[in-house]
Amino acid sequence: MSDSRSARFPEGFLWGAATSAYQVEGSPLADGAGPSIWQRFTHTPGNTFESQTGDVACDHYRRYPEDVRLMREMGLQAYRFSLAWGRILPEGRGRVNPAGLGFYDRLVDELLKDGIRPMVTLYHWDLPAALDDQGGWLNRDIAGWFADYAGVAFKALGDRVDLWATLNEPWVVVDGGYLYGVHAPGHRSRFEAPLASHNLLRAHGAAVRAFRAGAHAGQVGLVVNLEPKDPATSSPEDVAAAERSDAYMNHQYLDPVFKGAYPQALRDIFGEAWPEFPAADFDVIREPIDFLGINYYTRGVMKHDPERPPVRASHVQVPGRPYTAIPWEVSPESFLRVILWVRERYGNIPIYVTENGAAFADPDHVRDGRVEDPQRVEYYREHLMACREAIRRGVDVRGYFAWSLMDNFEWSAGYSKRFGLIHVDFETQARTPKDSARFYGEVIRTHGEALGDSQIEA
Ligand code: IFM
């Protein structure tokens, strides 16, 4: 940006929106796809809100041309979506399913036809069930399985896709899936969690190596979700709880990638459950990446809680602060803080904000062709201002993806939490852009000027 106080974002800043395969596609077993762990998890009654599943979701698998048209009408320049590993390799490895790949082939072509740049995530939580049967993320061989799958995807789509993310939010994969059991595959084990995390990171590094080995054009990175952690009070117990939470959520996946080692705090948190990992693993894990994807939603205010091992910390709500429907605190200043923190701790790596957005209790019906969602409009305004402020302070933020393009299957919360810019009527599959979609479209059209010129401070 020539004028560092300009209301506009830099030339070439990429404006997008994001989804993931299991959350929007539906038809999870169509055209020879193999089941995923989320297929199994949702078909086990009681695991999700009202035992809802992704069987239909937004039917994006069949309605993608309409969805791409809506993206174009909003003015989106990029669409971040994930590949369902089991559509492409029904058993997770070995045999490739051309019909599954065909879907992504058509989607990419449809996007490019409308001038929308695809960003592809290789793993957004839907591990092929056949691999889970062999230990899934607990099996060290998964690094090779993932790199092979990545290689198939790079080869098939790499002529048209130039932005690749390996994993989405490894912290959630492990915290939800292996430690607290609220996500697939539903394990609860303090001993499994560090193993799963480590194998995710090894798989990430192996996929980056496969990308480099294939000499593909474009960039590859990792997507993590970050939350500044603040103590609920100034008591030493709460301060220590916030520090542990910070190491567990924010350092666990970035220190190994950028510094080649885990923080000492994790050994203290996991105690006897923390294994010694082979030193050579870190050479793979720290394979240089081209960008870091940051997903940001909220900050965490933490209090000491001995009842919640192993981190011994839990979230508290702060009276008087605004919360979304999840409930997550709305804290745009923490968004700015976290971006600045990444640069301070890991250097000025190119950053894409790969997810940011909010669930609010929107009216669940459309009135006169309109869905009014003023809280979401405000959320986007303030968070985009925070993003602009980070750029003004010299951070290399290259693009922003709203979460989410449309209301979708919010994992264990099913369809009860709506994050979309576009409203989806799950009975009829009718799509209606919300007021927030119009607002975001205006921000894109004006390169940020529509945000106004007030400022967010860290
Ligand atoms: O819906 C999820 C997404 O899959 C990963 N990041 C957070 C979103 C909202 O919870």
pLDDT for res 456: 84
**Which of 110, 192, 227, 355 is flagged as catalytic?**
355
- Kindly state whether residue 457 falls inside one of the protein's structural domains: no
Give pLDDT, residue 4: 59
Res. 2: pLDDT tops 90: no
| Chain segment 11-51, per-residue pLDDT in tens | 999 999 999 999 999 999 999 999 999 999 999 999 999 99
State the DSSP H helix or E strand holding residue 69, giving kind and residue range, or none if neither. helix 60-74
Q: What would the pLDDT profile of 384-393 be if each residue is shown by its tens digit?
A: 999 999 999 9
- Indicate the top mutation candidate among 401, 404, 412 to test ligand 1's pocket, ranked by most ligand atoms within 8 A of CB: 404
Q: How far is the CA of 9 from the centre of ligand 1 (A)?
A: 25
CA distance 438 to 444: 10
pLDDT in tens, 257-310: 999 999 999 999 999 999 999 999 999 999 999 999 999 999 999 999 999 999
Q: CA 88, CA 303: separation in Å to the nearest integer? A: 44
- Residue 456 belongs to some domain of the structure: no
Q: Where are the beta strands (DSSP E) in 139-249?
A: 163-168, 219-225, 229-231
pLDDT value of residue 363: 72
pLDDT of residue 364: 65
Residue 296: CB partners within 8 Å, gap ≥ 6?
225, 226, 227, 334, 335, 338, 339, 353, 355, 356, 383
Query: Residue 23: which CATH number?
Result: 3.20.20.80
Count structural domains, the chain: 1
For residue 410, report the distance from its CA to the centre of ligand 1, in Å. Answer: 7
pLDDT, tens only, 62-116:
999 999 999 999 999 999 999 999 999 999 999 999 999 999 999 999 999 999 9
Residue ranges making up the domain that contains 227: 4-451
DSSP state of 227: -
Percent of the chain past pLDDT 70, that is, above it, reads 99
Ligand 1 atom closest to Cα of residue 225 = 6
Q: Per the domain annotation, does 458 fall within a domain?
A: no
Q: Specify if 70 maps to a domain.
A: yes
Residue-wise pLDDT for 149-189, tens only, equals 999 999 999 999 999 999 999 999 999 999 999 999 999 99
Of all protein residues, the one whose alpha carbon is nearest to atom 10 of ligand 1 is: 410
Predicted confidence (pLDDT) at residue 396 exceeds the cutoff of 70? yes
- Structure confidence at residue 350 as a pLDDT band (50, 70, 90): very high
334 CA to centre of ligand 1 in angstroms:
18
**Do 250 and 226 meet the contact criterion of CB atoms below 8 Å apart?**
yes
Q: Of all atoms in ligand 1, which is nearest to the CA of residue 419?
A: 9
> How many angstroms is it from 379 CA to the middle of ligand 1?
16
Contacts of 413 (CB under 8 A, 6+ apart): 48, 49, 326
Confirm whether 169 is a catalytic residue. yes
Our mutation pick for probing the ligand 1 site, out of 23, 411, 418, 424, counting the most ligand atoms within 8 A of Cβ, is 411
Span from the CA of 456 to the centroid of ligand 1 (angstroms): 24
Give residue 3 CA to ligand 1 midpoint distance, Å.
35
Gap between the Cα atoms of 451 and 228, Å rounded: 24
> Is the residue at 126 inside a domain?
yes
Q: Is residue 438, in this structure, part of any structural domain at all?
A: yes
In the annotation, is 50 catalytic? Answer: no
Ligand 1 pocket, CB under 6 A: 20, 23, 169, 295, 355, 403, 410, 419
Q: Which atom of ligand 1 is nearest to the CA of 355?
A: 6
Model confidence pLDDT, tens digit, residues 179-221: 999 999 999 999 999 999 999 999 999 999 999 999 999 999 9
Mean pLDDT for the chain? 97
Residue 373 lies in a domain: yes
Flag whether 35 is in a domain.
yes
Tell which atom from ligand 1 comes closest to the C-alpha of 168: 5
Band (pLDDT 50/70/90 cuts) for residue 6 is: confident
Helix (H/G/I), strand (E/B), else coil: 302: strand
